[in-house]
Chain A
């Protein structure tokens, strides 16, 4: 404390302070609008939503009388919400596993430097340029089951044509399949992304490592198992984070492809939130669902963010 003043004065006289300090101020001023916007639009709004979920606001007109956790109790007792949570777990686990496995397999294949790699890569990545809405509309049509009475359509028709009629199913109109049909479309859209990430990772692994292992008499499979997969762990982690948060929030695809489905078999919390809030005007309950969604996503993201912040600081 005592030290700083004379030091500052000395700096001031030497003119360095004058040069630096305005820049410091400008630097802060430059990022301030964005930070303020995020503070209000992310954190402030989340706070408001959390507050709204503890009130009795179940109509177009806000009613902020306090009801505590009543909305949450009611929510967890609602059959539709219980089904939604189950669907989320099913969707997330299937979607993550399939996309990762498929992405990794494709990346390994492409990494073998086969001919026409560029074309394949472009093809696999292509769905990423599409909106979930477009994907949903197209897949709704492909997986439209037709019916026993009017004949098959879409994929079922294709199965018929190639003599695999036994594999036909009701797809998303069968309550036992429901959300799993949406997984197919989501995997189709996202596995190319995983492939791109893994491919970048594989290309980053030095050739010598592999060759050294092969010289040591390891089989191709062992090389992958003991050397390559562990080296790709950071990529897998990043991929899990990306896919995980997409899958917890999935909304557009379900809206465009199936809607809530028979007996809510393809319903998801995000869709329930939309229905409750903007169709039923039960804002408090909608806010409750939103907060539960947020908590799920945060459970996935926050540890990761803290972890990357720590590694940042170490660098």
Chain B
């Protein structure tokens, strides 16, 4: 008797465990994949969702986010899902050459018709359209523009010490020495996720080689063996002598706490830091172009793609329309701390920093960010990231420069 009951229990357990979840009658779904989980990013995404819900109230949005800065974790998950034939309905991808990684011809639907019918080619800047085209077609809809080269600083710390934001690297080191003498961390840095060092070095490269020279690094016009690259490496190495000692344990936002607390003075990070400051209700920050990069806009753009075989294709197409619409971008960007990809958003919605970024976007020389998917194929960008991360601990300039050159050779861009 008791044995029979036991078997029954086991059988029912098995049955319960085998029942698939989510078979309840949910009429229509939309699964959006991104790596926006922190403060302002999550709020911006929620803003996009609410615009979508207003238009399509019957669709249940599944927010499939994977944490991790610059999407390092998320990209692994996404690649696995695409390769495994289980794509989300739409996913986040950096505009530019990053799309190559997803093998568009095989895994993505081209969106040229959508661009035409929605009239996006008229409202998006030319430089951005150029960046978006891969193999002559559009594969994703841009929602914003970010700037990678911003020097954030604590205004009070600068005032108390009678300092102004440095315009050249020489000035930077002068300022840093003055701050160091006061026991303040001059240059706030977090390197835990592995890409932050690459990000800072990219900005140093821009500041050392200028727009033309930096662009040439990714097209083969500027050799990586160039003396200016050596100079950039030496500058970066020297900058690292002014950082907080615990940088390997901190992400960029973790390190940002130094700035908020007034224990640190300067940080080079993209302008998502502006959104993060806001989510922390912190207003005491100032911004300036990092040394040597005045008049240059190191740009990246987040966009959304449509994978082949999306389970809810129509909902996903509607999502892309929202992403590309003015209303969607106005709901998203002020919170995310980025500017609209479209040129017709009303400036009044944005805070002071973003208005200044929007002005620069129209006038500055544009260069594509490598650490954020615009300048190079993913495999090359990954090598660049690893080489720079290694340089932070080794400090070996010659070896690093040789490695950068051979990465360029592997990418078939350099001879």
Chain A residues with CB under 8 Å of chain B are: 58-61, 74, 79-80, 83, 144-150, 170, 172-175, 259-265, 274-275, 278-282
Report A-chain residues with C-beta under 8 Å of the C-beta of B103: 59-61
Report A-chain residues with C-beta under 8 Å of the C-beta of B393: 175, 262-263, 265
Contact (Cβ within 8 A) B386 A80? yes
Given A80-B386, A173-B246, A281-B79, answer yes or no on A263-B392 (Cβ-Cβ < 8 Å): yes
Contact (Cβ within 8 A) B194 A259? yes
In angstroms, how far is the closest chain A Cβ from the Cβ of B215?
A: 24
Report B-chain residues with C-beta under 8 Å of the C-beta of A80: 386, 390
Contact (Cβ within 8 A) A149 B101? no
Q: Does B114 count as interface, using CB distance less than 8 angstroms?
A: no
Q: Which of B337-393 contact A (CB under 8 A)?
A: 378-379, 382, 386-387, 389-390, 392-393
In angstroms, how far is the closest chain A Cβ from the Cβ of B413?
A: 16
Complex CA distance for A259 and B73, rounded to whole angstroms: 12
16 A-B contact pairs sorted by A residue (CB < 8 Å): A74-B410, A144-B249, A146-B246, A149-B185, A150-B261, A150-B263, A173-B246, A173-B248, A174-B248, A175-B393, A260-B194, A262-B393, A263-B393, A274-B76, A279-B75, A279-B382
Given A60-B102, A263-B392, answer yes or no on A278-B76 (Cβ-Cβ < 8 Å): yes
Q: Does B24 count as interface, using CB distance less than 8 angstroms?
A: no
Contact (Cβ within 8 A) B379 A58? yes
Complex CA distance for A103 and B194, rounded to whole angstroms: 36
Looking at chain A's contact residues, the main secondary structure is loop
Given A259-B192, A263-B389, A279-B76, answer yes or no on A147-B244 (Cβ-Cβ < 8 Å): yes
Q: Does B106 count as interface, using CB distance less than 8 angstroms?
A: yes
In angstroms, how far is the closest chain A Cβ from the Cβ of B196?
A: 11
Q: Which of B34-78 contact A (CB under 8 A)?
A: 72, 75-76
Q: Does B258 count as interface, using CB distance less than 8 angstroms?
A: yes
Name, among A173, A278, A281, the residue most crowded by chain B CB atoms within 10 Å (CB to CB).
Answer: A281
Q: Does B80 count as interface, using CB distance less than 8 angstroms?
A: yes
In angstroms, how far is the closest chain B Cβ from the Cβ of A280?
A: 5
User: Of B72, B79, B194, B382, which one neighbours A60 at CB under 8 angstroms?
Assistant: B79
Name, among A59, A83, A174, the residue most crowded by chain B CB atoms within 10 Å (CB to CB).
Answer: A59
Q: A60-B83, A263-B389, A279-B76 are in contact. List 18 more A-B contacts (CB 8 A).
A: A59-B101, A80-B386, A80-B390, A144-B249, A146-B246, A147-B249, A149-B258, A150-B261, A260-B194, A262-B247, A262-B389, A262-B393, A263-B390, A264-B386, A275-B76, A278-B76, A278-B79, A280-B378
Given A60-B79, A280-B378, answer yes or no on A173-B263 (Cβ-Cβ < 8 Å): no
Contact (Cβ within 8 A) A262 B392? yes
In angstroms, how far is the closest chain A Cβ from the Cβ of B386?
A: 6
In angstroms, how far is the closest chain B Cβ from the Cβ of A173?
A: 4
Q: Does B131 count as interface, using CB distance less than 8 angstroms?
A: no
Name, among B75, B246, B249, the residue most crowded by chain A CB atoms within 10 Å (CB to CB).
Answer: B249
Looking at chain B's contact residues, the main secondary structure is helix
In angstroms, how far is the closest chain A Cβ from the Cβ of B258?
A: 7
Contact (Cβ within 8 A) A79 B263? no
Report B-chain residues with C-beta under 8 Å of the C-beta of A175: 248, 393
In angstroms, how far is the closest chain B Cβ from the Cβ of A267?
A: 10
In angstroms, how far is the closest chain B Cβ from the Cβ of A202?
A: 39
Report A-chain residues with C-beta under 8 Å of the C-beta of B193: 259
Closest A-chain residue to B192, C-beta based? A259
In angstroms, how far is the closest chain A Cβ from the Cβ of B398?
A: 13
Q: Which of B99-114 contact A (CB under 8 A)?
A: 101-103, 106-107
In angstroms, how far is the closest chain B Cβ from the Cβ of A98?
A: 24
Q: Does B12 count as interface, using CB distance less than 8 angstroms?
A: no
Complex CA distance for A278 and B76, rounded to whole angstroms: 5
Contact (Cβ within 8 A) A280 B379? yes
Contact (Cβ within 8 A) B106 A149? no
Report A-chain residues with C-beta under 8 Å of the C-beta of B191: 262
Contact (Cβ within 8 A) B245 A170? yes
Closest A-chain residue to B107, C-beta based? A60
Closest B-chain residue to A174, C-beta based? B248
Report B-chain residues with C-beta under 8 Å of the C-beta of A274: 76
In angstroms, how far is the closest chain A Cβ from the Cβ of B198?
A: 13
Complex CA distance for A79 and B386, rounded to whole angstroms: 9
Closest A-chain residue to B105, C-beta based? A61
Contact (Cβ within 8 A) A280 B249? no
Complex CA distance for A264 and B389, rounded to whole angstroms: 8
Closest A-chain residue to B395, C-beta based? A263
Q: Does B294 count as interface, using CB distance less than 8 angstroms?
A: no
Closest B-chain residue to A280, C-beta based? B382
Contact (Cβ within 8 A) B79 A279? yes
Report A-chain residues with C-beta under 8 Å of the C-beta of B76: 274-275, 278-279
User: Of A79, A260, A279, A280, which one neighbours B403 at CB under 8 angstroms?
Assistant: A79
Contact (Cβ within 8 A) B248 A262? yes
Complex CA distance for A279 and B74, rounded to whole angstroms: 8
In angstroms, how far is the closest chain B Cβ from the Cβ of A279?
A: 4
B193-208 CB contact bits vs A (8 Å, 1 = yes)? 1100000000000000
Q: Does B241 count as interface, using CB distance less than 8 angstroms?
A: no
Report B-chain residues with C-beta under 8 Å of the C-beta of A148: 245-246
User: Of B101, B194, B246, which one neighbours A281 at CB under 8 angstroms?
Assistant: B101
Report A-chain residues with C-beta under 8 Å of the C-beta of B394: 263
Q: Does B82 count as interface, using CB distance less than 8 angstroms?
A: yes
User: Of B192, B249, B263, B379, which one neighbours A145 at CB under 8 angstroms?
Assistant: B249
Contact (Cβ within 8 A) B389 A279? no
Contact (Cβ within 8 A) B244 A149? yes
Complex CA distance for A170 and B250, rounded to whole angstroms: 13
In angstroms, how far is the closest chain B Cβ from the Cβ of A179?
A: 13
Complex CA distance for A267 and B80, rounded to whole angstroms: 22
Complex CA distance for A84 and B108, rounded to whole angstroms: 35
B213-253 CB contact bits vs A (8 Å, 1 = yes)? 00000000000000000000000000000001111110000
In angstroms, how far is the closest chain B Cβ from the Cβ of A61?
A: 5
Complex CA distance for A229 and B101, rounded to whole angstroms: 56
Contact (Cβ within 8 A) A261 B248? yes
Contact (Cβ within 8 A) B390 A79? yes
Report A-chain residues with C-beta under 8 Å of the C-beta of B101: 59-60, 281
Report A-chain residues with C-beta under 8 Å of the C-beta of B106: 60-61
Closest 10 CB pairs of A and B: A263-B393, A147-B246, A262-B248, A173-B248, A279-B76, A175-B393, A278-B76, A173-B249, A60-B103, A61-B103
